[in-house]
Structure 1
């Protein structure tokens, strides 16, 4: 052995890398799987299919088949990116189970999107500093709410928008603070706005998240620049599309983006105030509270309280903005608006509870935990059980399923239907120009041109709750109902669906 070998220091023992902690992954995925199973259970039976769902699904069909952005004239009522995303996957469930009602197949295609939303709620909870149990509570509070198990099943543009804005928040709160994360946050926010324009009001919450997650002098200006770049580069495609088609500005003989915006902001009739008894907004609020008063009331209180907590502000600012928008008098409040509210209220509840428990000491802490558990067991659980049980057992679409089956068995004819059944008829082989969405009979000149004889050119009208909901406001529909006879009916009560043969006057 040489002298050098004697004095050479021994090689350090290899350091074993610590195994990566996968607890968050397994916990979030496990809880999401449970909620998703409940969401999928009876998704075809509850809730009742709505005309809005059928419309978005038919627009996705138009994209799939190269028919443009809608199955009728696209008039820029909403940005199209949500149903473009829906078009990517809505064909698969119907291919596997062709007997499904078209809307039911579309709902199944929404499940991956809802899974992403649930996971993002957990991720955001952890990134704003929640302990694991609080992040899990936020996910479960969101996912087990009867409102989510009802409206989360439906095909709504708001579901796409809220998932993308949650993704923007998660990226803005990225612990690694890479510049591309902030640019991706801007792009995700733009995709959210192009999925449903009303999500635009939550952008200040993403800006708050960027502010809190960056250093004042070094990364903050670059972060905001990257965010703005992603937002503008993706967001500009929509007005650019309208400009290239000559449909950006209002004019004679064509639809326009700015004309649609003007209608939405100024011409559309409002829902009244939520505080005004008998108003549309008040009735809507009561319908939401009927499904889940716990999340809405506790979430509102937690949102206001959470504004005082710095780490919760990205979440509570979003919730507070949504509350203020709902409270404005005279504005239009759609039924699906609550979809945007739910994840932020759930996170606010979990965050405020986690903060409160972290401030308790000694004997107070187990007492507080015990009270919270008792409250959950004897107040929340019984209320949610009723709503969730109905979501898992009710069959509210039996009449639609029977009607679709009947129409598939008939030879093609000129038929007026609601948009729930439009795609079922087209899939059954009816020429798409002879299946007419009732709403367009009086409101689309292109449809009127197809029917030179007016209502007499229609063979059948399918009278559904959606078609009957505004009696007298659509003259041609009213005339069809008056000059037709029932030949088959399905369901009962207010939910009855009638197949009516048009009785044409002798020429």
Structure 2
């Protein structure tokens, strides 16, 4: 017996429309995967970091030429380590002391292991720590600002491998440490989780950056633009208020320190914060940056000599992002870095402003990000246009071929220039004259403890380790004219000296320092190292030559 099953009829159920995706705020994209949990990001960031540290670290002690500023900051860090106060001479509020306090912390272990190795060339290795942290923060910030992985990697490579960055990042400058803090502040401000403590932390990090190098103040508007864009609408006012309050409270600790020491305002017999600020604001200008006869133009030429791609490409990228801000998601995401580039460029363009060579350090990470962001924006626009045109299949390969050809053309221009610049940084020995002068003064002078010598700060610590007395024995040449605590030990002026080490810095600035100028005029070279304008002359004062070194 067979049973028959009833016929089953199937009725087609009409497809239900899918719910529309939740609308995102204009100008925002989905938050990127966290760096620490993304294997691809970690691998790319790690590979780039290794390349950057190799290029930055190779030959770091020998190139570029030691600078007096490096020696000053390291000598001040040495004074902090030795418990001699905030500086190796009278601290006169030229910069907030947090910068060289951090250098003292970074150099504590190597200087403890080998006290005599705390010289400018050998201690440059501590800047690799700063460079490593800053490079990773550039990558993390690029990802938090919604850059694709390749563009964030491009920004990191631009920041770490540009010959201009290699030269400046190696040097013991406060600007490099301040940039690290500012990048941390930007990363916290752009945090995808939008926790309130991130914004408070951004304010604290910004204050640390400003107290490391006060010129970072001009970047703070760009930081708060970034914080505004990435804060939650419901807590935005509270977050920004907290960040500003945290930044201000930490920042005001500096004038409070001066007030408690009785050195906030000018007075008889002491230095003051007000005089330090007044000096910085009234420094003679170096002229308009586009005036070929100005000192600022010479600084610009030195930057472009090292690398044209990052400064000019970054400015072009910032301009592109500003122009396309209304309709480009990438441009809106990078509003903060683009504003930082614009503000720093405007300050550099002041007709009567003072433009030091290290000024561009504050702009390097933002130039790298906006250049990478501009490349990402153009790439996105071109690919979207191609998709909208719905090209035929046989043209698909052609467009990717064109994209590859453009990328290769850009690489063909950049790589040879960077190769030449980085090869110089990896092979040149610009500091041989300094080492030779240090060796001569350490071995050829019979009684260093009784010898008085004027030097620039690049050699100051070398001679302290060689047995010269810090302060009255080995004298930072500026102090022979500008520090009453030193000039009172020189009642006969230049006649109380034994030697003057006429480095390029000493010869350049002697025109404004009567004692130094007279010491050079009344001395004879006993040893010369190097040639041309870069030579270093050890000159013996004629009265000392007649009577013997004291």
Q: TM-score under structure 2 normalisation? A: 0.85
- Does the 8 Å CA contact 2:118/2:461 hold for their aligned counterparts? no
Gapped regions of structure 1 (runs ≥ 5): 1-18
Distance change >3 Å, CA 407–CA 98, structure 1 → 2: farther
C-alpha deviation, 1:288, in angstroms: 0.7
- Show the counterpart of 2:490: 451
C-alpha deviation, 1:421, in angstroms: 0.5
- Show the counterpart of 2:149: 132
C-alpha deviation, 1:296, in angstroms: 1.0
- Does the 8 Å CA contact 1:117/1:163 hold for their aligned counterparts? yes
C-alpha deviation, 1:100, in angstroms: 5.1
Deviations 1:1-42 (A, max 9, x none): xxxxxxxxxxxxxxxxxx943322232122112101110000
- Show the counterpart of 1:233: 249
C-alpha deviation, 1:94, in angstroms: 4.7
Establish whether residue 339 from structure 1 lines up as the match of residue 361 from structure 2: yes
Establish whether residue 28 from structure 1 lines up as the match of residue 67 from structure 2: no
Task: Write out aligned runs for 1:265-280 (5 A).
Answer: 265=281, 267-280=282-295
What is the total number of aligned residue pairs between the two structures? Answer: 487
- Show the counterpart of 1:12: none
Distance in 2 (alpha carbons) for counterparts of 1:67 and 1:25: 43
Establish whether residue 403 from structure 1 lines up as the match of residue 441 from structure 2: no
- Show the counterpart of 2:13: none
Decide which of 449, 457, 465 is 1:427's aligned counterpart.
Answer: 465
- Show the counterpart of 1:59: 76
Q: Structure 1 segments of 4 or more deviating over 6 A?
A: none
Establish whether residue 475 from structure 1 lines up as the match of residue 497 from structure 2: no
- Show the counterpart of 1:310: 332
Distance in 2 (alpha carbons) for counterparts of 1:191 and 1:23: 32
Distance in 1 (alpha carbons) for counterparts of 2:265 and 2:107: 33
- Show the counterpart of 1:385: 419
C-alpha deviation, 1:110, in angstroms: 1.3
Deviations 1:405-442 (A, max 9, x none): 22222331111111000011112221112110111111
Decide which of 113, 117, 123 is 1:106's aligned counterpart.
Answer: 123
- Show the counterpart of 1:152: 169
- Does the 8 Å CA contact 1:56/1:156 hold for their aligned counterparts? yes
- Show the counterpart of 1:46: 63
Distance change >3 Å, CA 408–CA 435, structure 1 → 2: same
- Show the counterpart of 1:328: 350
C-alpha deviation, 1:187, in angstroms: 0.4
Decide which of 222, 225, 248 is 2:264's aligned counterpart.
Answer: 248
Distance change >3 Å, CA 483–CA 154, structure 1 → 2: same
Deviations 1:345-404 (A, max 9, x none): 110011111122122135475255324322332211111111111001100000101111
Distance in 2 (alpha carbons) for counterparts of 1:485 and 1:445: 27
Distance in 1 (alpha carbons) for counterparts of 2:195 and 2:320: 31
C-alpha deviation, 1:452, in angstroms: 2.2
Decide which of 211, 214, 220 is 1:203's aligned counterpart.
Answer: 220
- Show the counterpart of 2:481: 442
C-alpha deviation, 1:160, in angstroms: 1.0
Distance in 1 (alpha carbons) for counterparts of 2:455 and 2:279: 26
**Which of the two has higher C-alpha Rg?**
2
1:485 match: secondary structure: strand
C-alpha deviation, 1:457, in angstroms: 1.4
Deviations 1:435-484 (A, max 9, x none): 10111111111111112232111111111111101343211111111222
Deviations 1:176-217 (A, max 9, x none): 11111111100000000001111100101111111111232x
- Does the 8 Å CA contact 1:208/1:313 hold for their aligned counterparts? yes
- Does the 8 Å CA contact 1:46/1:394 hold for their aligned counterparts? yes
- Does the 8 Å CA contact 1:272/1:329 hold for their aligned counterparts? yes
- Show the counterpart of 1:89: 106
Gapped regions of structure 2 (runs ≥ 5): 1-35, 326-330, 388-395
C-alpha deviation, 1:79, in angstroms: 1.0
Decide which of 369, 375, 400 is 1:366's aligned counterpart.
Answer: 400
Deviations 1:95-121 (A, max 9, x none): 556675711122111110111110010
Distance in 2 (alpha carbons) for counterparts of 1:20 and 1:255: 52
Distance in 2 (alpha carbons) for counterparts of 1:149 and 1:403: 26
- Show the counterpart of 1:73: 90
Distance in 1 (alpha carbons) for counterparts of 2:209 and 2:37: 33
- Show the counterpart of 2:135: 118
Q: TM-score under structure 1 normalisation? A: 0.92
